[in-house]
Amino acid sequence: MIDDAVKLVRLARRPVSLSGAGLSAESGLETFRGRDPEALWSKHDPLQMATPEAFEANPQQVTDWYAWRRKVLAQAEPNAAHRALASRESMLHVTQNVDDLLERAGAREVIHLHGTIGRNHCAANCGHEEAIDMADPPPLAPCPTCGKWMRPSVVWFGESLPEAALEGAIEACVECDLLLVIGTSATVNPAASLIPLAKEASARVVLVNTEETEAGRFADVEIIGKAGEVLPKLLG
């Protein structure tokens, strides 16, 4: 399996990665789903933490939860999988992750489908936005421009993805000759739909995950293993 995947990765001229929370798991960031009992959606209700309605109903609770995640991220370091991906300079990275670990590993081109936890913007969309200090995240605060609450610049359930990010990801997946899919349960659309899209457009698909997923049916090669152990072998 690894040898087949190594060949596909080496031969690729337009490789693209599509990653999910499993990519950052070995950096100490919890995934949302999967067998891990600590997975975020096993401990928290996404409807209470990751929807615009949840923020409207209880902005303090949502802000505190993101402050906790921000502090964890401030302490985290890129792992061997981030470094291996970043080392392939011609690879474009599409990620569902809101962390900046790919960038910190040196990746040049990263498309964040679900936004970034490193910024806040006005919940009323007046246009005000700001970078935040992850080690010392701001408390719930009003927008300095319009007085509505500031919120994390991430995509919540029920919200549209940033248009430019989605368009860029679709174009990359249609044009790539290899899609390397890492650490995603492939359950959330439209991100998950990029996998069949690339396959139909004739890319080879390699999956790396600690468990089998629905996306397996689109894979040319499916490798069950930890991203931090598998990716250095594929890309080294």
Q: Which residues within the stretch 169-198 sit at the binding site for ligand OAD (CB under 6 A)?
A: 183-185, 187-188
C-alpha neighbours within 13 Å on the C-beta side of residue 179:
33
- Count of residues engaged in binding ligand OAD, rule: CB under 6 A: 29
Q: Rule CB under 6 A: choose which of 90, 133, 135, 157 binds ligand OAD.
A: 157
Per CB under 6 A, the segment of 3-11, 55-63, 102-110, 149-157 that binds ligand OAD is: 149-157
Q: Which residue is nearest to ligand OAD (CB)?
A: 22
Structure tokens at 77: 């370091």
**By CB under 6 A, is residue 68 in contact with ligand OAD?**
no
**By CB under 6 A, is residue 233 in contact with ligand OAD?**
no
Rounded to an integer, what distance in angstroms lies between the CA atom of residue 1 and that of residue 136? 44
List % helix, strand, coil for the chain (3-state, nearest 5): 40, 20, 40
CB-nearer residue toward ligand OAD: 91 or 145? 91
DSSP per-residue codes, 188-206? STTTTTHHHHHHHTT-EEE
Q: Which residue, among 69, 68, 159, has the nearest Cα to 113 in the 3D structure?
A: 159
**By CB under 6 A, is residue 8 in contact with ligand OAD?**
no
Rounded to an integer, what distance in angstroms lies between the CA atom of residue 36 and that of residue 175? 34
- Bridge-based pairing of strands 115-122 and 129-131 is antiparallel
Residue 114 designated active-site: yes
Q: How far is the CB of 84 from ligand OAD (least distance, A)?
A: 12
Return residues touching ligand OAD (CB under 6 A). Answer: 20-22, 25-26, 31-34, 39, 46, 50, 96, 114, 155-157, 183-185, 187-188, 208-211, 213, 226-227
| Residues belonging to the active site | 114
